[in-house]
Every structure is written in C-alpha cells, then in structure tokens.
Amino acid sequence: MHATIVPQASHTTLQHVGGYATMRDMPEEHAATASLELISRSVVETVALGRRLGAWLQPGDVVLLYAPLGAGKTHLTKGIAAAWGVDEAEVSSPTFVLVNVYEADRAHGRRPIYHVDLYRIDAPEQLVALGWDDVLAGDGLTIIEWAERAEGWLPREHLAIHIAHLGPEQRQLRFCAQGARPRQVLEALRADLLRDAARAEQQDAAGD
Ligand SMILES: Nc1ncnc2c1ncn2[C@@H]1O[C@H](COP(=O)(O)OP(=O)(O)O)[C@@H](O)[C@H]1O
Ligand SMILES: [Mg+2]
C-alpha cells in the first residue's frame, strides 16, 4: 500500500512552513529563500513527504540526510524511491553494504537510485573503494544517510535535509538547498505543499 498525504495531516504540517499559517501570511522575500521547515507527525507522513519530494527530483540530484538513528532518514528515502517506481519494501538502510542501488521505473529511464548509508564508515577515504565516483556521476539520483561522515567529499550543489526528534512520532524536517537546481526543487516542493494547504483551507471553509 502506498501512503498518500491526508489533507488534514498536510494542512497541519503546512501550518509550520516558515511559521506562517497560510501562503498569504508569508512575506515575499521568505517565499524565495532556499530553506523550508516542516513537521511530520507520523511515519506515513514522512514517507508521503518523500514521495512529494521525489516527484520533483531528477537524475543528477543529490539529497543529503543529517539525523540521528531512528529519525526517519530511511523512511524518507522509501518515499523518494517510491516516486521513481521502486517498491518501498525494497528500500532499507544499506548499513552493511553502504550503498544500495535501485532501478527506477521506465518513466524515470530506469536510472539508478544510489542509496548510501555512511553510519559504519571509518574514514572518508573508504568512499573511493565504495565507488564514490559512480555514486556522484550524475546518471541517477543520489541519497546519502549520515552525509556528515563524507564531509569534504560531497558535491557543492545539494539538497540537505536535517531531521530531529520532537516526540515519539513527531519529527522536524529542515530542508536547505544549496545551488540553483536544488533551490528549484525546494521551491517546487514548497509550492506543491502550499497548494495542498490552500486546498485544505478551502475545504475547511466550505465545511464551516
Ligand atoms: N514521523 C515519523 N517519521 C519517520 N519515522 C517515524 C516517525 N514517527 C515514528 N517513526 C519511526 O521511526 C523509525 C525511523 O526509522 P528509519 O527511517 O530507519 O530511521 P533512520 O534511517 O534515520 O535511522 C521507524 O521505526 C519509524 O516507524
Ligand atoms: Mg537509516
């Protein structure tokens, strides 16, 4: 079963975008910034958010995930990969092999999705043996868990996502886009989520 964003849930989530309840409240200059803060209230919401993000990603894009164990990096990755036609069940933390490669569906040109987990890496020099050049070659999508362990080996242009625990099921996700292309992705995602929020608001108003 694939998760979808429940309007009420996304509405709630969206109330946290930049601290503004609606798009109207958001100053112009903030709408143009390259960062975004969201609250996820369940694992389903995190996977759904990954799907939303995945829909805007293209081959060559690099997503860096920064978060402690159990924050939801792998579940966010499940959503991203699902948007490229990969079965969520196939996506798990590549803790022992360090890199999993999934094949995207035909609509995504059967491109590789490199899912990297650097939790167990001892030194960044090990990245060479791991096939780091392939991972960052740009032919596919690259998602890196524990990106901080590859400090100095990461592309300048990337979409970084920091996840923090707020409660047993609550997570804060902070997106930070570095470079023109990642900014485009982030703005597309923001617009996507704001459309949802506006729709939910209309529904609420109609229900009053
Ligand atoms: N809002 C949430 N988002 C993501 N995971 C959540 C959330 N709430 C609870 N969880 C649970 O937290 C765990 C996250 O695991 P995982 O995605 O493997 O984390 P990581 O890859 O960061 O170590 C899962 O057991 C999941 O069910
Ligand atoms: Mg993980």
Nearest to 139 by CA among 177, 101, 176: 101
Reported confidence tier of residue 179, pLDDT bands at 50, 70, 90: very high
Most confident of 55-69, 120-134, 188-202: 55-69
Q: Where are the domains of the chain?
A: 7-203
Closest ligand relative to 118 C-alpha: 2
Strand duo 99-103 + 112-117: pairing: antiparallel
Cα-to-centroid distance, 44 and ligand 2 (Å): 16
Q: pLDDT confidence of 13, banded at 50, 70, 90? A: very low
- Per-residue pLDDT of 85-141, as tens digits, reads 999 999 998 767 799 999 999 999 999 999 999 999 989 889 998 899 999 999 999
Mutate to test the pocket of ligand 1, among 47, 75, 115 (most ligand atoms within 8 A of CB): 75
Q: What residues does ligand 1 touch, defined as CB less than 6 Å away? A: 40, 42-43, 45-46, 67, 69-75, 93, 145, 169, 171
Radius of gyration for the chain, computed over Cα atoms and rounded to the nearest angstrom: 17
pLDDT band at 40 (very low <50, low <70, confident <90, very high): very high
pLDDT at 9 over 70: no
Question: Is the predicted pLDDT of residue 76 greater than 90, yes or no?
Answer: yes
Question: Which tokens hold the place of 129?
Answer: 């043996």
Report how far residue 91's alpha carbon sits from residue 76's, in angstroms, rounded to the nearest whole number.
10
User: Which CATH architecture does the domain made up of 7-203 adopt?
Assistant: 3-Layer(aba) Sandwich (3.40)
- Please name the helix (run of DSSP H) or strand (run of DSSP E) that holds residue 160, with its range, or none: strand 158-165
The best mutation among 16, 43, 77, 116 to test binding of ligand 1, ranked by most ligand atoms within 8 Å of the C-beta, falls on: 43
Query: What atom of ligand 1 comes closest to residue 117's alpha carbon?
Result: 21
